[in-house]
Amino acid sequence: MEQTLCASGLNYSQWLLLRAIRQDAFVRGSPLTGPMPIDVERSETMLDELRRDGWIEYAGTQAPRIAESAANRLQRTAQALSALHSVSVAAFSSQERAALGTLLERMKTTLSDHTTRQVRAGTEAARQEKAVAPSHCPGLPPVAHRPTSCPTLAATRL
């Protein structure tokens, strides 16, 4: 389970908090009870981490919610953990366990590939945003910044 969560970029306590948020069982300012109790201070720290990593959205003291961009990723993680749990508790033969283990490895690889693509897409978007950002020179009029983008201004200046 830890390996599956790690491949998703989560740890067990983060998973429990995300699951509680998803099920509307998390109340800010109250400890999270369950298999691994999480106190208020720790949950606030984890909320910041999960927001930074794009899993959740919230502002100020609002109740957190699963980020739209993370909903599919969270669903795939939940499915992988559910499948892992099913395999671990079911009475399968060794051959069936091997087949299911192979399927779980494929799911893990797919999740890892998706995470890599998401990171790459985010990095590319940030790079493009930086490249598009205009360069500002203090003290110069705005026209001086755009002579090639405004041919008529460039012609009148020369």
Residue 51's CATH number? 1.10.10
Does residue 88 lie in a domain region?
Answer: yes
Does residue 150 lie in a domain region?
Answer: no
Mind listing the pLDDT tens digit for each residue in 49-100? 999 999 999 988 889 999 999 999 999 888 888 877 776 777 778 888 888 8
Does residue 147 lie in a domain region?
Answer: no
- Return the ∠ at Cα 131 (arms to 129 and 137), rounded to 5°: 110
Does residue 149 lie in a domain region?
Answer: no
Mind listing the pLDDT tens digit for each residue in 103-136? 888 888 888 888 888 888 888 877 787 776 555 5
Closest CA to 8 of 93, 90, 114, 82: 114
Half-sphere exposure of 55 (CA within 13 A, CB side): 22
Does residue 144 lie in a domain region?
Answer: no
Count structural domains, the chain.
Answer: 1
Does residue 155 lie in a domain region?
Answer: no
Closest CA to 18 of 69, 56, 45: 56
| Domain limits for position 18 | 2-132
